[in-house]
Amino acid sequence: MPGLTSADTIRILISTDNHVGYAERDAIRGEDSWKSFHEVMCLAKEKDVDMVLLAGDLFHDNKPSRKSMFNVMRSLRINCYGEKPCELEMLSDGSEVFQGAFDHVNYEDPDINVAIPVFSIHGNHDDPSGEGHLAALDLLQAAGLVNYYGRTPESDNIQIKPVLLQKGNTKLALYGMSNVRDERLFRTFRDGKVKFFQPGTQKKDWFNLMSVHQNRHAYTDTGYLPESFLPEFLDLVIWGHEHECLIDPKYNAEMNFHVVQPGSSVATSLMPGEAVPKHVAVLSVTGRDFKVDTVRLKSVRPFVMREIVLAEEKEAVRLAKKANNRSELTRFLEGIVEAMIQQANKEWEDAQGDEERDEDEEIPKPLIRLRVEYTAPEGGNFDCENPQRFSNRFQGKVANVNDVVQFHRKKAGGARRANNAPEMPEEAALASLAIDTVKVEKLVREFLTAQSLTILPQNSFGDAVSQFVDKDDKHAMELFVSENLTKQVESLMEMDNVDEDNIRERMEEEKSHLEELFASGHLAKLRKAKRKPRPANWDSDLNGAWDDQPAAIIRSDLEDEEDFEASRPASKPTTNGRVKVAPKKASAPAKKAAPPAKNSRSKKKVVESESEEEDEDMVMLDSDDDESQLFVKPEPPTRGSKKPAPVKAPATKRAPTRGAAASQASKQSQLNFSQPATQSRGKTKKAQEVSDDDISDDDDAFEPAPSARSTRSRR
Which residues form the catalytic set?
Answer: 125
- d(CA 19, CA 227) in angstroms, rounded, equals 25
b/e burial code for range 247-267 (CB count within 10 A of at least 16 → b)? bebeeeeebebbbbbbbbbbb
Residue 176 parent element (H or E): strand 170-177
Listed residue (48, 67, 59) closest to 10, CA to CA: 48
Listed residue (153, 173, 152) closest to 162, CA to CA: 173
| In contact, 289 and 1? CB cutoff 8 Å | yes
Q: Which amino acid is at 582?
A: A
Listed residue (234, 238, 164) closest to 200, CA to CA: 164
Backbone dihedral angles phi then psi of residue 393, each to the nearest 5 degrees? -65, -20
| C-alpha distance from residue 524 to each of 25, 183, 301, 581 (Å) | 35, 15, 41, 35
Sign of CA dihedral 590, 596, 601, 606: positive
Neighbours of 571 (CB within 10 A): 9
The vertex-211 CA angle with 75 and 290, nearest 5°, equals 95
Sign of CA dihedral 559, 561, 564, 566: negative
| In contact, 662 and 108? CB cutoff 8 Å | yes
- d(CA 706, CA 203) in angstroms, rounded, equals 13
Listed residue (325, 307, 309) closest to 380, CA to CA: 325
- d(CA 43, CA 118) in angstroms, rounded, equals 13
b/e burial code for range 660-682 (CB count within 10 A of at least 16 → b)? ebbbebeeeeebbbebebeeeee
Residue 699 parent element (H or E): none
b/e burial code for range 648-659 (CB count within 10 A of at least 16 → b)? eeebbebeeebb
> Would you state the torsion angle of the CA atoms of residues 460, 465, 467, 469, taken in this order, to the nearest 10 degrees?
-170
The vertex-550 CA angle with 549 and 552, nearest 5°, equals 70
| C-alpha distance from residue 263 to each of 511, 577, 591, 682 (Å) | 39, 52, 53, 48
* DSSP codes joined into one string, 315-380: HHHHHHTSSS-HHHHHHHHHHHHHHHHHHHHHHHHHHHTT----TTPPPPPPEEEEEEE-PPPTT-
- Residue 265: which residues within 8 A CB-CB, separation 6 or more? 15, 16, 17, 18, 19, 33, 36, 37, 39, 40, 278, 280, 297, 300
| In contact, 44 and 82? CB cutoff 8 Å | no
| In contact, 404 and 337? CB cutoff 8 Å | yes
- d(CA 31, CA 489) in angstroms, rounded, equals 51
- d(CA 206, CA 233) in angstroms, rounded, equals 10
Sign of CA dihedral 319, 322, 326, 327: negative
* DSSP codes joined into one string, 468-497: HHHS--TTHHHHHHHHHHHHHHHHHHT-SS
